[in-house]
Structure 1
């Protein structure tokens, strides 16, 4: 996996470059204007300064910087400006070096010539730095970067303070031929100019024919013409609009870096996700974790794309981005690898790296789909993609055969994806047309979905069914291609084909069918392992049936019908849309091998769909907990009985739930230690008030479109990510579980504040820091020791590989930025814990647990009725039915009054019955997980790694054993080229 390029000042290299280059260009233009304006009109060497244009060419930037350097004492050039030159030069060198690193491992003349443009830009910036006196700082103990912080943020006003306006009149220097050529090139720019306007040279008079006048006569006069006040033609320009353009095509270097930023993210995140799907197939990582991380990676790419589209709205398409990057790399984006360049392995690797194969597949699918109205490929396309073989041996094929196989899969799968939606919408439209009014219900509209990929499916369908007035290239955005590439990679990696940047193409044997298949985790979630550990479908059926019985016994339970509607919606989502889709029927392009190939041949869809289903079941059950209070009351009763000595031994189920859901059962996650009855009553009232005043969260149950109002707080990482559209930076501090790695890293990254009196450091009081400190104090730690423990978290960063290269480089205590792939590594740990690890909030069959807890309440009430418990009979008749005529709050659920009253009055008989019932509860947490085992650490299987997956780079090179190297169970051939141009490792 490649090393990402990220600076401390921002997530994207482009935003860093933009913040630095814009004030730099503005300063050069303003200072040059002031300098030229201060010189006499007859001054012979005054350069042309473009008026009102925020863009200048690279040659102009160099010429103006040299001109300023000749007329300004080096000590008068602001050190902050020199610091900016250093930063921009470093950013450009980083871009150039990274492009070289990810482009190819082998020397290629075209690529070298293309990348050299950025190298020339960096060298030109170095010339400017030297011309302005930068070398004078080489022997100082501090650099110009040290003074830059005084002018942050670099607003227009702050930069104006740095503009030089007082100059010493110097003798005009004798221009060298190189300087004259530079000035002639500069003067050719279009637009209004400020400076000495030279007359056209007479024919026949070149440089040799000119005679230099006497120095005394060449000196400028004090003032030839009164020029008036200094013009300020740049005042109406935004600071962000200033940039340097390349000398060809007028393309700004900012766009090149922004395009590189986007492609760099795509390349690195793609490599990360390929490694992730390898772990899913070969090492037991849960596919829902991979699906959630894939969604998060897509969001990161979209964030970078948003930065590009905000600054270059007319150049945001994938075609525009890739054309720019490919031209910098020295080849055309549209050039096919055929004929003369067929053996150009560097070109093939570059096209693979830049996602060009997948882009061409998507483009060809859309154009082909538009030619027919029946959802079938054209005859020409049919010949190309027919007879796709899922068991094709990739190790024994040539690279051309592999690409053809992958292209056939991609286009066939896209046909199935679009046809799923179009067929379902046609069915809904047909039914609604026969209905009076012709309206479509919400349920019908929601049935047109592909769980986990609904947005992507609609986007591709929209592109494929468009009228063609807008070109296809103009509508394909970078994140469309990136997501499709990740979908395709999830299959190829699990079939044994992985593209690794340092190594090239790596091929290994596919995993055994009993160890991995795309539906492995989906089937366990839906159907469970056995009767003792059922899947979600059985759990929801049991809970729905029990809630119907409860509705008859407790007519005051007003929310019961809503519970059943939400549970039914989630069960329908899982039954009809997870792992299959009813709308496709036998029209699948893969019908000869598998009619459900849309799911069976897409690990990405299975993982992303399962992640949404886990979110849906969690949100639905949390809604039930917020209104059907038995789980909350049982947890308070259990804690009370343990503290009062009624329960001598802990009960596994309740101990586990108390650890997993502290904020869901107790206010602020703090377990009461006294006045338990009133604490429970207050918590129940607070939940009721949140519901009546709609102060909780509104969430839409994933895949169903059903809105719910949640009053119970939660700390599930997967659910929080899904709630924030998979944007890790939007997950709020007040909901992150303190036990999570994400919380610890955020605390460690918190700004350090030093007390100027005592010299002690402390963390800035963010929401998360306050929560963590309060939790430590609650555990009995003194406040000052709690502060020290939180500060010690920063030292713990050194234990993580992802932070070893990011130690502080300056005297400030500003934490380093964590890179995208490192954030995903952090999330992988927390998501694994959340789904099938040691903190499985989402991996629990919560419907089964809720069903069991309501049943426990039924057993308790049956025993109380048999004993004739007075507290119980205050609310119920002798038939065990709650009688609202017996208590004042007739609209209130009787159980929410019964339990707090028994706790406040300390009804011994009542509490002994509850304690006996709970002590006999043998259900454990492991009985309620969907999966066969729980994991720890990074999420890889706790079982020994399987061996015997022999890997080869290519069958034709299998005899080159002397060049074989072993890497992670993969035997790859080193440095062997096959006849078709494939570069083997």
Structure 2
């Protein structure tokens, strides 16, 4: 079960855990009663049987809780903690909704609030019936923490049940108790099973209302054991069945929490783009984090709205939270600046601000998208209508935002958004449009599959935004007047907002919850341009010889030609050349700039032509960041594919190791030492460089080529993959199968919870988090706790990490979470902001004080960070991969390959001059298959015969000049992220008291 960091989903999950335990516990009691000497009969005289429904009504919950509480002396602390968590979630939401109607009463909301209060009272009554009134959270280690997300939640619940009822004996002597049991059971079966079809929450302000029919007599369960009837029922099916008001309230909770998540993640990403512009953070890092944040919103929405079919569109979400009137909703929501006094657990309010609904709920972005689609549909020519043109023409990229009014800035941003969307759709649709106009083909625009996996995906038109571009194009190409509002989902609007924010933030304009529009001086142009990092990667103008990937394509192609001539096979590198040519053209034409800037026949010119025909890229840091991220990822997997096909990388690493081990090279050469450290399993058996028998180690690697049936199966799957990412998946390779962090994230759909342990690098921040999430098991013999054996914990132990260190790591992460907002450890100005009505909250998302006490009451491990925190953690791994300590994605494989070829050519040239006998045997006398593998022959001969002259020549070539790893990365340097841990480079407020509050605050967002 993946970790649940979303508040509403946590509430929903906790409720399922709770109902599962109560239903299973009551069934155990009923079976124990039935097995006694005087079985209890139901109202019709038939024996009462265990419950067969995983869903219970609110009244059923109360009845079951009373029944269970009557027969159990001590309810597990974990269950009471679950109950408290659910009650806190509903209470926080009720308080928020009361605040919403305080200024502008709404009969529908007031009615829902009254129903909500009755539900809360029923929860409290059930809680008290189980002993909650006298229960106090403690730190007992006797029960596991079911709220810590593990793969074994149901098993742990079953263990609790087994411990309580494995030897349960019911004391039954008084007849009065028997009569009482009979009444209890009759009430339970009367209340629990009154299921009815759930009405859907109303769209916007009102919804359909229906009355549930009351059962005229208690239902009897089917004549089969509960172990059969409930066997296989998923945990999420255990739930509380509610009436229409309850369902609408649940939907409001989901909507409310989704908006909070969008606000929090948007604020975080604004800070990231500030780092890109003002502090030099690589834009590919920001692109990867943006992809993760968008996936978080998409995942949250899809999981939330699975219970509310046809109510997942952004339009419905907005109509619900604003009650169908944005202007009326303005004033319902407030933000408070909160701080903790030293030693106090009670937050204090410091500052209050009304939330700008249109800005923070992304309504501006939504309306701009909708207006663009509506306008594009009218002609589908790629040109704005006259009316729209009047509004968006002559957008000025140099507009001084500091001296503009709020309304002027919003108009400037709207003009940019619509112009940029026109360019996006025109570029993305260009191949189909030109086929119709130039070739006379008859593609019907509204029926074209514009998705990244559609038939046109083979034509590269964009890096980094293919999916979003395909979505927007599919809306814009519909027939005029087509209503597309139900197709626009919250994550689409969130993504557009992030795209637009990337420009405004890097121009000095961000939006702060407390201070509203914050405008500062933009970064100087010599420090930041949107294409800054893309240009370093490509180096179109060859300003840094031997660094950019475009120049490497040309040089490597020439070396492949020369190598083919050496081995007498000009088709030797045909497959590699074909792949490289395709990537070369894609990078040249569609990354950082496109053919569009030079004009495409029958396609309207760029909307930014009056200032920069390449405005699609030049004015979008987001596109440059996500495009560079994809470019780096493809360069990595294509480079790994080439290395897997060539013998030179493997041979040179083995030769270098032998020369070091035998003393011919005193100090390892930087490039080869780093490659050996980054890719140990790729080069050596078991990842260990040999200290003798060098030829056997090399032969072992060669013999393993293609031997795995699993890899053969992976290859068959890869050949049918929908895109190049799947086709070149490193898993299909024989040797070079290591995945970079970027490759792993894309493969997991940017969802870190879907990354298998086998793919998690170790050491890494994600690896550390996985260790903290590993289950703590009590040894039945010794009584000591130990870490569950997982892929990660096994690898950690293999690297020398003890279980004690793993336990300490989990404690460290807990302390990190628990101290995030302590005033004596974090400056007072770095505080949380909370939304009205106060500091109550959904449980366990941000505040480490109130709900964590309940969550830790059961003992065990609880390391549960919010999505924003997970982005901060993953930022370290992503930055390390792109420009940090382990820069797999920064390695220019093509230039490294050219260097490998250069080394071999120099060795061959020098040995030929000396007429070295090993060279003569390998290059002149070889016969049969070895005649076409001259370099492999030379390498094996050198390892076997250890010819001193040959090895001295090789050592001299390796060390003169010595090559360093940094010579073969795309950037001028790398950043050691570890040195910055604990330091936050983003601009922060200097003094909250003075009102000088920057655009970024640590998040603990509660409405």
- Regarding TM over 0.5, the answer is yes
Aligned to 1:840: 887
Q: Which moved more, 1:605-614 or 1:488-497?
A: 488-497
Aligned to 1:740: 764
| Contact 1:23–1:239 under 8 Å retained in 2 | yes
Q: Which moved more, 1:257-266 or 1:19-28?
A: 19-28
| Contact 2:593–2:614 under 8 Å retained in 1 | yes
Aligned to 1:657: 675
Aligned to 2:787: 763
Alignment counterpart, residue 906 of structure 2, candidates 855, 859, 874: 859
Alpha-carbon distance between aligned partners in 2 of 1:569 and 1:939, rounded to the nearest angstrom? 39
Deviation at 1:453, TM superposition (A): 0.3
Aligned to 2:845: none
Alpha-carbon distance between aligned partners in 1 of 2:382 and 2:671, rounded to the nearest angstrom? 52
- What is the correspondence of 1:947-958 to structure 2 with a 5 Å cutoff? none
Aligned to 2:810: 794
Summarize the Cα distance change of 1:91–1:827 in structure 2 as closer, same or farther, 3 Å threshold.
same
Summarize the Cα distance change of 1:876–1:531 in structure 2 as closer, same or farther, 3 Å threshold.
same
Summarize the Cα distance change of 1:561–1:67 in structure 2 as closer, same or farther, 3 Å threshold.
closer
Summarize the Cα distance change of 1:84–1:609 in structure 2 as closer, same or farther, 3 Å threshold.
same
Alpha-carbon distance between aligned partners in 2 of 1:943 and 1:55, rounded to the nearest angstrom? 50
| Contact 2:596–2:605 under 8 Å retained in 1 | no
Summarize the Cα distance change of 1:118–1:17 in structure 2 as closer, same or farther, 3 Å threshold.
farther
| Contact 2:507–2:523 under 8 Å retained in 1 | yes
Q: Match of 1:498, SS?
A: strand
1:499 to 2:511 alignment: yes
| Contact 1:832–1:938 under 8 Å retained in 2 | no
Alpha-carbon distance between aligned partners in 1 of 2:804 and 2:79, rounded to the nearest angstrom? 37
Q: Which moved more, 1:514-523 or 1:683-692?
A: 683-692
- What is the correspondence of 1:456-535 to structure 2 with a 5 Å cutoff? 456-467=468-479, 471-527=483-539, 530-535=543-548
Summarize the Cα distance change of 1:555–1:391 in structure 2 as closer, same or farther, 3 Å threshold.
same
| Contact 2:664–2:952 under 8 Å retained in 1 | yes
1:911 to 2:918 alignment: no
1:673 to 2:660 alignment: no
Deviation at 1:126, TM superposition (A): 3.7
| Contact 2:305–2:311 under 8 Å retained in 1 | yes
- What is the correspondence of 1:81-160 to structure 2 with a 5 Å cutoff? 87=82, 90-91=85-86, 93-94=88-89, 97=92, 121=116, 124-130=119-125, 133-134=128-129, 136-139=131-134
Alpha-carbon distance between aligned partners in 2 of 1:284 and 1:112, rounded to the nearest angstrom? 52
Summarize the Cα distance change of 1:96–1:194 in structure 2 as closer, same or farther, 3 Å threshold.
closer
Q: Match of 1:588, SS?
A: coil
In the alignment, structure 1 segments of 5+ residues that lack a partner are 42-50, 173-187, 197-226, 339-344, 777-784, 878-882, 952-960, 972-985
Alpha-carbon distance between aligned partners in 2 of 1:442 and 1:246, rounded to the nearest angstrom? 42
Summarize the Cα distance change of 1:744–1:803 in structure 2 as closer, same or farther, 3 Å threshold.
farther
Summarize the Cα distance change of 1:587–1:8 in structure 2 as closer, same or farther, 3 Å threshold.
closer
Aligned to 2:831: none
Summarize the Cα distance change of 1:247–1:756 in structure 2 as closer, same or farther, 3 Å threshold.
closer
Alignment counterpart, residue 256 of structure 1, candidates 249, 252, 255: 252
| Contact 1:508–1:950 under 8 Å retained in 2 | no
Alpha-carbon distance between aligned partners in 2 of 1:9 and 1:486, rounded to the nearest angstrom? 20
Summarize the Cα distance change of 1:962–1:571 in structure 2 as closer, same or farther, 3 Å threshold.
closer
1:19 to 2:16 alignment: yes
Alpha-carbon distance between aligned partners in 2 of 1:404 and 1:694, rounded to the nearest angstrom? 56
Alignment counterpart, residue 823 of structure 1, candidates 833, 853, 870: 870
Alpha-carbon distance between aligned partners in 2 of 1:419 and 1:88, rounded to the nearest angstrom? 54
- What is the correspondence of 1:545-944 to structure 2 with a 5 Å cutoff? 545-555=558-568, 560-583=573-596, 585=599, 587-687=605-705, 689=707, 694=712, 698=718, 707=728, 709-711=732-734, 712-776=736-800, 786-797=802-813, 800=816, 805=848, 809-810=856-857, 812-877=859-924, 886-889=926-929, 893-937=933-977
1:332 to 2:356 alignment: no
Q: Which structure would you say has the larger Rg?
A: 1
Q: Match of 1:753, SS?
A: strand
1:362 to 2:369 alignment: yes
Aligned to 2:189: none
| Contact 1:533–1:930 under 8 Å retained in 2 | no
Alpha-carbon distance between aligned partners in 2 of 1:73 and 1:660, rounded to the nearest angstrom? 57
- CA-to-partner distance for each residue in 1:830-855, whole Å, 9 max, x for gaps? 11111111222211222111101111
Q: Match of 2:487, SS?
A: coil
Q: Which moved more, 1:518-527 or 1:100-109?
A: 100-109
1:420 to 2:427 alignment: yes
- CA-to-partner distance for each residue in 1:49-76, whole Å, 9 max, x for gaps? xx999685xxxx36x667788x969624
Alpha-carbon distance between aligned partners in 1 of 2:391 and 2:329, rounded to the nearest angstrom? 17
Q: Match of 1:762, SS?
A: strand
| Contact 2:402–2:519 under 8 Å retained in 1 | yes
Deviation at 1:573, TM superposition (A): 1.6
| Contact 1:612–1:702 under 8 Å retained in 2 | no
Higher relative contact order (CA 8 A, sep 6+): 2
Q: Match of 1:506, SS?
A: strand
Alpha-carbon distance between aligned partners in 2 of 1:399 and 1:512, rounded to the nearest angstrom? 23
Deviation at 1:445, TM superposition (A): 5.2
Summarize the Cα distance change of 1:334–1:96 in structure 2 as closer, same or farther, 3 Å threshold.
farther
Deviation at 1:430, TM superposition (A): 5.2
Alpha-carbon distance between aligned partners in 1 of 2:215 and 2:100, rounded to the nearest angstrom? 48
Deviation at 1:6, TM superposition (A): 8.2
Alpha-carbon distance between aligned partners in 1 of 2:210 and 2:108, rounded to the nearest angstrom? 25
Summarize the Cα distance change of 1:747–1:654 in structure 2 as closer, same or farther, 3 Å threshold.
same
Alpha-carbon distance between aligned partners in 2 of 1:13 and 1:137, rounded to the nearest angstrom? 21
Summarize the Cα distance change of 1:444–1:896 in structure 2 as closer, same or farther, 3 Å threshold.
farther
Deviation at 1:657, TM superposition (A): 2.0
Summarize the Cα distance change of 1:891–1:357 in structure 2 as closer, same or farther, 3 Å threshold.
farther
Alpha-carbon distance between aligned partners in 1 of 2:408 and 2:252, rounded to the nearest angstrom? 34
Aligned to 1:175: none
In angstroms, what is the RMSD of aligned CA positions?
Answer: 5.0
Aligned to 1:207: none
- CA-to-partner distance for each residue in 1:760-818, whole Å, 9 max, x for gaps? 54332222222232233xxxxxxxx7454444433443674688547982454334223
- CA-to-partner distance for each residue in 1:455-491, whole Å, 9 max, x for gaps? 1101110011123696311111122111111111111
Summarize the Cα distance change of 1:170–1:381 in structure 2 as closer, same or farther, 3 Å threshold.
same
- CA-to-partner distance for each residue in 1:20-59, whole Å, 9 max, x for gaps? 476599799999x99xx98989xxxxxxxxx999685xxx
| Contact 2:16–2:238 under 8 Å retained in 1 | no
Summarize the Cα distance change of 1:861–1:65 in structure 2 as closer, same or farther, 3 Å threshold.
closer
Deviation at 1:535, TM superposition (A): 1.0
Alignment counterpart, residue 400 of structure 1, candidates 396, 404, 407: 407
| Contact 1:89–1:125 under 8 Å retained in 2 | no
Summarize the Cα distance change of 1:524–1:307 in structure 2 as closer, same or farther, 3 Å threshold.
same
Alpha-carbon distance between aligned partners in 2 of 1:245 and 1:400, rounded to the nearest angstrom? 47
Deviation at 1:254, TM superposition (A): 3.6
| Contact 2:295–2:750 under 8 Å retained in 1 | yes
- CA-to-partner distance for each residue in 1:591-627, whole Å, 9 max, x for gaps? 2222111111111100000001111111111111111
Deviation at 1:541, TM superposition (A): 1.5
- CA-to-partner distance for each residue in 1:69-92, whole Å, 9 max, x for gaps? 8x9696247976997686355346
Aligned residues: 870
TM-score, normalised on structure 1?
0.76
Q: Match of 1:889, SS?
A: helix
Alignment counterpart, residue 316 of structure 1, candidates 312, 317, 325: 312
